[in-house]
């Protein structure tokens, strides 16, 4: 295939030969495409909305009422996932599992659920035993369907969301559920809103103590706890934050 110059194209256009002009133009564009530098397309991240305390509770109450109305296990699953994040400031991956970008969180496992609680694999390594009330334990047993431990952490997750990307599934779910619950800015609500809010509560409760906040949030260093201490100022509660 001949690659024409702009001067040659001009000559063909002046000649009035339409078929030749179309062919030459097509070949010139092909050359331009081959010579054009490759551009990386960066996906623009959506802003994330903090949830005020009343908004957090409103969504949890909506999910609880929906479960009581329908008795559907899927609705119970939604209620449990977000109420656990709300009550204990857990990350999405700590509840449903996360293997994105090198993360290695198996999520809550059927073999680690006991009559009074469950072991939680924390976001920054290690873990801790989480005390649960009998009703929550029974609800988790109902969601897991009485499954026994198999040794496969994917099959042994209590919350069997979409196997390949349960974290992504949870991100999509909270937007749909927040919209149904009537929360403003539902497009910008992410599951991490509960983790951020919980971390802020912990920082306030510990009087901004970095070490205690670190331990309560399952972090490896006090540096990570610092962002929750910074968020304790009232003027930040309703802020729309860009992802860090």
What does the pLDDT look like over 201-225, one tens digit per residue?
Answer: 878 888 888 888 777 777 777 877 7
Among the residue ranges 24-38, 116-130, 142-156, 177-191, the one predicted with the least confidence is 24-38
CA distances, 40 to each of 37, 43, 174, 237 (Å): 10, 10, 30, 35
The answer, yes or no, to whether residue 84 has pLDDT greater than 80, is: yes
Band of pLDDT at residue 242, cut at 50, 70 and 90:
very low
Arithmetic mean of pLDDT over the chain: 80
pLDDT top residue among 244 and 8? 8
> Residue 227's pLDDT is what?
75
Domains of the chain plus CATH, in order, are 6-35 (no CATH), 48-241 (1.10.443.10)
DSSP symbol at 183: -
CA atoms of 191 and 173, how far apart (whole Å) = 9
Burial label for 126, CB within 10 Å (0-12, 13-18, 19+), is exposed
pLDDT score recorded for residue 7: 67
Dihedral of the alpha carbons of 108, 112, 113, 114, in degrees to the nearest 10: -150
């Amino acid at each position: 295939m001949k690659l024409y110059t702009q001067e040659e194209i001009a000559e063909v256009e002046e000649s009035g030969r339409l078929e030749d002009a179309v062919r030459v133009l097509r070949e010139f564009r092909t050359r331009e495409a081959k010579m054009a530098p490759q551009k990386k397309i960066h996906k623009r991240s959506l802003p994330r909305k903090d949830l005020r305390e009343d908004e957090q509770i409103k969504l949890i109450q909506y999910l609880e009422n929906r479960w009581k109305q329908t008795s559907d296990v899927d609705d119970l699953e939604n209620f449990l996932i977000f109420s656990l994040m709300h009550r204990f400031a857990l990350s999405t991956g700590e509840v449903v599992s996360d293997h994105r970008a090198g993360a290695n969180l198996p999520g809550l496992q059927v073999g680690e659920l006991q009559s009074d609680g469950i072991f939680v694999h924390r976001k920054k390594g290690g873990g801790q035993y989480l005390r649960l009330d009998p009703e929550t334990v029974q609800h988790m047993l109902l969601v897991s369907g009485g499954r026994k431990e198999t040794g496969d952490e994917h099959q042994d997750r209590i919350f069997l969301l979409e196997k390949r990307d349960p974290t992504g599934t949870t991100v999509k779910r909270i937007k749909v559920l927040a919209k149904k619950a009537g929360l403003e800015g539902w497009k910008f609500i992410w599951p991490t809103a509960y983790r951020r809010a919980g971390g802020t509560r912990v920082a306030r409760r510990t009087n901004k103590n970095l070490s205690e906040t670190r331990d309560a949030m399952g972090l490896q260093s006090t540096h990570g706890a610092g962002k929750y201490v910074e968020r304790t100022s009232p003027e930040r509660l309703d802020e729309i934050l860009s992802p860090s």
